[in-house]
Amino acid sequence: MNIKTNDTVVVLSGKDKGKQGKVLSADPEGRKVIVEGVNVAKRHQKARRQDEQSGIIKKETPIYVSKVMLVCPKCGKPTRVAHKMDGDKKVRACKKCGAAI
């Protein structure tokens, strides 16, 4: 998977198309990511302890990684990910400007 935690991504399809957000967590086995402010669902929560608050909370739910595209930190455009060698280390790179991500 080319998307990792703390990457900035843009949503390509679905109800949140065009939104940008930071990846909160990535699940390589399930091929899903949780993006901040995207695919938000309301959940009813019951107080488990006396100091907890009951009510309806908003929570980000996972979306498939194929529905998001990485945003290059240098040029600020959505881009596919290239892999190139930086010395003896393999790094991710922007297809548009060539900068290491």
Model confidence pLDDT, tens digit, residues 56-89:
999 999 999 999 999 999 999 999 999 999 889 9
Tell me the mean pLDDT in the region 45-62: 93
Class of domain 1-70: mainly beta
Tell me the mean pLDDT in the region 6-33: 96
Q: What is the pTM of this model?
A: 0.84
pLDDT score of 83: 93
List, by residue range, all CATH 2.30.30.30 domains of the chain: 1-70
54 class by beta-carbon count within 10 Å (0-12 exposed, 13-18 middle, 19+ buried):
exposed
8 Å CB contact between 23 and 4: yes
pLDDT of residue 45 exceeding 90:
yes
Confidence of residue 44 (pLDDT cuts 50, 70, 90): very high
| Local structure of 2: helix, strand or coil | coil
Closest CA to 61 of 7, 8, 2, 14: 14
Exposure on the CB side of residue 63, measured as CA atoms within 13 A: 27
pLDDT score of 23: 97
